[in-house]
Chains A and B, each alone.
Chain A
């Protein structure tokens, strides 16, 4: 079963743009890709979702290539409060059975 993989960690400085990728080779045909932010001892918080191409909201952008086997979350001008773990979440059908799969998570540390 292919894992939905992300870089383990990233460091960035305040004010920079951060791009976090997720590889999801087994994404189900009709499923959306969603991204979540999680702070310690809290539940994940929804950031953005998309199906293909580019989606933008007030906090982030999501880029999805045509084959949909990966996605990139873009956080513009990060601040210290963006230090958190970021997860992608996709639906997959690795052997015919539908499964919700969280990515391995990326620990983002924003430095002053």
Chain B
């Protein structure tokens, strides 16, 4: 049973649309992360948060933004989607050294 939930699982959207990818966890973890991953490539950290009202950019530059208003919720927003944003987006949370990942959102921008 998953303790970290991502919705939607799949999303196909047109160029220029605004989208929000949802991520929620029920474990009470302070630390949450967003990764972007393409097939055959490493997971790239794009955003992270160490607690409410704390957000930081990761190693990979991203046009997305995040917010952390509640401990359990860490949504990612793209104001204007482009084909270059097509990828899998993985949300994770951590209460120690390991991560718990969500099932991911496969985003396709056409």
Do chains A and B stick together as partners? no
Which residues of chain A have a CB within 8 Å of any CB of chain B? none
Which residues of chain B have a CB within 8 Å of any CB of chain A? none
